[in-house]
Amino acid sequence: MSQSTESGTPFEPVYGPDALKGWDPDDKLGHPGDFPYTRGVYESMYTGRPWTMRQYAGFGTAAESNQRYHQLIKAGTTGLSVAFDLPTQMGFDSDSPIAHGEVGKVGVAIDSIEDMRLLFDDIPLDKVSTSMTINAPAGLLMLLYQLVGEQQGVSGDQLTGTIQNDLLKEYIARGTYIYPPKQSLRLITDIFKYCQAEMPRWNTISISGYHMAEAGATPAQEIAFTLANGIEYVRAAVETGLAVDEFAPRLAFFFVSRTTLLEEVAKFRAARRIWAEVMRDEFGAKNPKSLMLRFHTQTAGVQLTAQQPEVNLVRVAVQALAAVLGGTQSLHTNSFDEAIALPTEKAARLALRTQQVIAYETDVTKTVDPFAGSYAVEALTDDVERAARDLMTAVRDRGGAVAAIETGFQKNEIEKSAYRIAQEIDSEERTLVGVNRFTIDVDDPYEPLRVDPDIEAQQAERLARLRTTRNSAEVDRQLDATRAAAAGTDNVLPPMKAALAARGTVGEVCDALREVWGTYQPPDAF
C-alpha cells in the first residue's frame, strides 16, 4: 500500500540521490548559522547550550500559578510561559457576566496590576525570560509585566520575553479575537513601535502555526499560513514607516511538533529556508537576524488521548525529539494528563524531565543538525517547501493573508484536512494507539487536578476592593486618553499603560478600545 506524508506528498519506501530531484547537497545544504539557515539559525546550536525549556503553566488564581512557577523553576525549567484563562484572553474582567464559569479554568485569571504582581511574586524579572500566550489583549498584559518590573526596580530595557500577539491566526483557527483585522494590525504595529523605544529586548510577536495545526492543518498548511501571516505583519509595519531591520530581529514564531518525526524535522528546516528568502528578497532585509526564523515549539496537544493517558508520555518524548532535531529555540512538553484536565504537579514535572533526558542523556546535542544530508529528510524538506510555497502563492493571489481570511480560505483548507484526519481515524486507516487499536477495557483510575470553583467569587471580591480604593477619576481620565488615541493616530500603548498603572482593569481598557474599534464578526456569523 502506498504511503503519504501528513502534507499529502508521496512517502517513498527508499530514498536515494534520485529522490532529491537534481538537488546538489554541496551547493544547497550550507552550514548552520548561514543563509538560508536550513541547518539552524546558530552556528553551534545545542553544542554550546541546550534550547530554552519553557514550560507553559497557569491556572486558578495568580497566587496558585506563582506557586507552580516556583515548582518548575526548582525542577530546572529555564523559562516561564504563562497560560491565561479565557476571560483574560477575551479582554473581560472576572466579574463580567460573560466570564461566568470560566474564571481560572484554562489558565490564570489576571484582572489588574495587583494580580500580575502576585503572579510574579519573588521571581526576579531581570533574571527570567517570560512568554505570554495572549493575543487580543497582548499589549495590556505586556504593559502590566513592565509595570511589575518597574516596581521591582527592573527597567523595560532589561526585560526579556515574548507576547504571542498573533491576531491573524485567531481569525483562522482559534477564535479569541476582539477587534476587526485592520484595527488588530494597528495595535500590533503600535506594540512594535513602543517596544523599539521602551522594551528593545522584548519579542513583540510570536507568529503561531500551533493553533492551526491543533485545528487540523497539515505541516505544509501550518508553515504556509503562518509565514503568510508573518508577511502581512511585516508589510503592515513597513507601511507605518518602520524600517524592516528595526523590528524584524524581534519577530518569533511558534509551531507544533507531531509524532511524525521525519516530516516534522523537514517542516522546521523548510520554514527557515522560506522565511530567510522572503525577508531578503521581498523586504530587502540586510541584518542577518532579520532573516532568521527563530521559533518556540510545543508538543501536539491534539494528539494526546484520554484513553491510556500514560501512553502520552511516549508520544510527547517523540514529539519533543522531533522539535530538537528540527532546531527549535525553546520547547514546551505537554503533560501526559492534559487530555483529561489541567496538569498535576507530578505530570508537569515529568513533562520537564522528558526535555532534560533528551538534553543531558542522549547524544543529539553533541552535533549540529544530525539529520543533514539524509536522503529522506532532504527530500521531505523540499516536498514540504514546495507544498507550502504553493499555498502561500494561493494566499497572495487572494490579496494577502487578511483578504484571504475575509473569504475564509485558510479556515476552509484547514477544516478539510481536519475532516480527512477524522475519517482516517474512524475507519482505522490511521492508527491511534489506545483509541482505535490496542485498546483496554478499563483504564487505571486517575485523579485530575480540579480548579476551586470559589475562584470566581474571590476574583470578584478583589475587583470590588480595587474599585473602591483606587483613584477613579484618574482611571477615567486615562481611559478617555486611550479612546482618543484609538480614534486618532497616536500610539495607544502609553495611555493604556497609564490606565493600568492607575489600577484600571484589563476589561476596562479593552472596553475602551471596543467602543472605538468595534468587535469582529466572522463571515459565517453574518
DSSP string, 445-501: P-------TTHHHHHHHHHHHHHHHS-HHHHHHHHHHHHHHHHSSS-SHHHHHHHHH
- Phi then psi dihedrals of residue 58, to 5 deg: 155, 130
The pLDDT score that the predictor gives to residue 477 is 98
Of 525 and 144, the structure prediction assigns the larger pLDDT to: 144
For cell 495568580, name the residue.
62
- Whether the bond between 36 and the residue before it is cis, its omega within 30 degrees of 0, is yes
Cell matching residue 435:
483509541
Q: Give me the mean pLDDT over the 293-298 stretch.
A: 97
- Domain span(s) for CATH 3.20.20.240 in the chain: 49-426
Please, which pLDDT band fits residue 15 given cuts at 50, 70 and 90?
confident
Q: Give me the mean pLDDT over the 70-90 stretch.
A: 93
Cα separation of 128 and 87, whole Å?
A: 26
| Residue % of the chain over a pLDDT of 70 | 98
Q: Which residues contact 326 (CB under 8 A, 6 or more apart)?
A: 257, 264, 265, 267, 268, 269, 297
Q: Is 292 exposed, middle or buried (0-12, 13-18, 19+ CB in 10 A)?
A: buried
Q: What is the pLDDT of residues 409-460, one digit of tens each?
A: 999 999 999 999 999 999 999 999 999 999 998 777 777 778 788 899 999 9
- 357, amino acid identity: V
The pLDDT score that the predictor gives to residue 25 is 55
The pLDDT score that the predictor gives to residue 24 is 59
Instruction: Give the strand pairing for 160-163 and 129-133.
Output: parallel
Cα separation of 335 and 138, whole Å?
A: 25
User: What's the chain's average pLDDT?
Assistant: 94
The residue count of the chain comes to 526
Q: Give me the mean pLDDT over the 447-474 stretch.
A: 92
Helix, strand, or coil (residue 198): helix
Q: What is the largest CA-CA distance in the chain?
A: 74
Of 3 and 70, the structure prediction assigns the larger pLDDT to: 70
- Phi then psi dihedrals of residue 309, to 5 deg: -60, -25
> Cβ atoms within 10 A of the Cβ of 507, count?
25
Residue 222 above 90 pLDDT?
Answer: yes
Q: Give me the mean pLDDT over the 36-59 stretch.
A: 94
Q: Which CATH number fits domain 49-426: 3.20.20.240, 3.40.50.2020, 3.40.50.80, 1.10.1450.10?
A: 3.20.20.240
**Cα–Cα separations (whole angstroms), residue 428 to 315, 431, 437:** 19, 6, 8
The pLDDT score that the predictor gives to residue 525 is 42
